[in-house]
Structure 1
Amino acid sequence: MKAKLGIAPIAWWNDDLAELSDDVSLEECLRQASVAGFTGMETGRRFPMDMKELGPILDRFGISVCGGWFSGLLLDGDIEAEKDRIAQQMEFFIAAGAPCIVYGETARSIQGVRSAPLATKVKLSEAEVEAYGRKISDFADWAAAQGMPLSYHHHMAAAVETEAELDLFMKHSSVPLLFDAGHMAFAGGDVMRVIENHHARITHVHTKDIRREVIDALDSTKESFLDAVIKGAFTVPGDGSLDFEAIVKALAAKGYEGWFVVEAEQDPVANPPLEMARKGHAELLRVMDAAGYEVVGSDLEEVTR
């Protein structure tokens, strides 16, 4: 089985928290990711949405686009309006040969609201989830027909956060799933059970680790998701509390092949991005070998280790 290793630029520039951003250029971010050993990067705010401009920059560092976030509004919005909103990114991702667009539901989400405690996040009724599931399934079917599939990101402080919420969402939808171990563990879910229950729908993986001691000390009635990020709730594999060898072995046992993307937003001063990228890459190489994966480059040529 083959695996590709990517990283997200959120370690260098945080789109929600300017104070958690390193003052580096796109080129320097890509250089550091390449030096750390990664062959893919998800997009971020400093990426030009034009492969004529971006392509030569990516080629210089041996990096491909391995996904990227779209802030969806389908929970309250209209499918036709969302088609218009996603059109430019879809055209760009198709040109880039990206594997998917990461769909994150931001309608009614408090993930970017510093003043909103975690306990105040929206909770949907089953009837609301059923209606939402039909809508996003139709949207995902349309996107796939255009040549760019979506992968749905369950997320802290959003409508689909907990394991129970994800189970209900999966019951009432057919959309492909992005599995994020860090977000699910933060939400109190059983990451191994989520893989067991939903592996057939997993099309993209974020290898986000958590610092359990930080999460356990949070007061969800007073502190927000962004407060948790600032305190260091997330980190790279090999630096946190999750057993990524067990997680990756479980995914391998279910036949998952594709991208494993390090996405770990944290303070770049306290946690220098290049140092953390190297640590995360080394840990992923170790667990990929233990799980029987062959790590390959973005063009499916074996990475020189």
Structure 2
Amino acid sequence: MDLGYHTICWGGVVGDATGVTSVKDLYYRTPGSMETAISDISAAGYTGIEMFDGNVADYADQPDVLQGLLAAASLELVSVYTGGNFVYGDLLEDELHRVSRSADLARQFGARNLVVGGGARRASGTTEADYAALAAALDQVTDIAEQRGLTACYHPHLTTIVESPDELDRLMPRTRIGFCPDTAHLVAGGGDPAELIRRYPDRIRHVHLKDVRLDPFAFLPLGQGVVDFSDVRAALGEVGYDGWLIVELDSYEGDPAEAAQISKAYLEQLLAS
């Protein structure tokens, strides 16, 4: 399995302000330096990266710049992350327009995977119809990705309507999109990531690794929290997964390069054991 790292740690995540009034223009974006992130990820020994759609979009009119940075660092853009509400009918057309734009960018820069989060929690409460709407939207996301030679996968996420194992089970039978387990989000949602990998063996398309401390809550470099990565590794082997492992750490109190190095050393030990 190849090892990659998400650029989110170099500044966290924000959304474009224009998206408040124009959903079609709402991208995820890390406000830090992508040049620094790419250099640090390469220096830590990873061979791939994942980026938010907004950061890739910044290079749409100057593709040679990003391609040059990746080539100089000997890194592959493995995946692009996007998302949406996906439960509001009136917004869906514009949200899928943005997903299509993100998929176009992913293809332009050679990525293999389109990773999608989402499923809004309504102020009035989640309904069963929301899961049906989310599933139908994710099938359309899958079509968009496949039309561009990409693999689409869904990333369960805190604050969405797919946090817990029960919520994941309400969604997965209704959609054909792939599954991107995120070890820390699954644990924080009350699940066991290894068990959920074994529950959906034919749906695993991409994997996000991060650790978590539950009290006080914090996402952490690998090996510093409560995630049982030995069992996660065993489960991935049992289901025959041989794709990318992407470390995705939302933030770090110190130098993000240090966090990347900590997780890389832990992964090397884990995979060698």
**TM-score class normalised by the smaller sequence:** 0.7 to 0.9
Looking at structure 2, the residues matched to 22 and 49 of structure 1 have their Cα atoms a distance apart, in angstroms, of 14
Structure 1 position 7 matched with structure 2 position 5: yes
Per the alignment, residue 19 of structure 2 pairs with none
**Alignment coverage as a number of residue pairs:** 255
In structure 2, the gaps of 5 or more residues are 16-28
Correspondence list, 1:30-49, <5 A: 30-44=38-52, 45-47=54-56, 48-49=58-59
CA contact (8 A) 1:49 1:89 kept: no
Question: Structure 1 stretches (4+) deviating beyond 4 angstroms?
Answer: 21-24
Give the TM-score taking structure 1 as reference length.
0.76
CA contact (8 A) 2:100 2:144 kept: no
CA contact (8 A) 1:5 1:261 kept: yes
Looking at structure 2, the residues matched to 102 and 23 of structure 1 have their Cα atoms a distance apart, in angstroms, of 20
| Residue identity opposite 1:33 in structure 2 | I
CA contact (8 A) 1:211 1:235 kept: yes
Which string of whole-angstrom CA distances, capped at 9 and with x for unpartnered residues, describes residues 68-109 of structure 1? 221223221455433321233212211222121111116447
Which secondary structure state, in structure 2, belongs to the residue aligned with residue 69 of structure 1?
A: strand
CA contact (8 A) 1:75 1:105 kept: no
Which string of whole-angstrom CA distances, capped at 9 and with x for unpartnered residues, describes residues 210-252 of structure 1? 013323xxxxxxxxxxxxxxxxx10121222212122112111
Which secondary structure state, in structure 2, belongs to the residue aligned with residue 150 of structure 1?
A: strand
Per the alignment, residue 202 of structure 2 pairs with 200
Which string of whole-angstrom CA distances, capped at 9 and with x for unpartnered residues, describes residues 244-279 of structure 1? 122112111110011111111124xx2321111111
| Residue identity opposite 1:184 in structure 2 | L
Question: What is the CA distance between 1:174 and its match in structure 2?
Answer: 1.2
Equivalent pairs: percent with the same residue?
29
Which string of whole-angstrom CA distances, capped at 9 and with x for unpartnered residues, describes residues 163-191 of structure 1? 10001101211111111010010111122
Which secondary structure state, in structure 2, belongs to the residue aligned with residue 256 of structure 1?
A: coil
Looking at structure 2, the residues matched to 279 and 148 of structure 1 have their Cα atoms a distance apart, in angstroms, of 31
Question: What is the CA distance between 1:24 and its match in structure 2?
Answer: 5.5
Distance 1:191 1:46, change over 3 A: closer
Give the TM-score taking structure 2 as reference length.
0.85
Distance 1:24 1:133, change over 3 A: closer
Q: CA RMSD in A?
A: 2.4
| Residue identity opposite 2:192 in structure 1 | D
| Residue identity opposite 1:15 in structure 2 | V
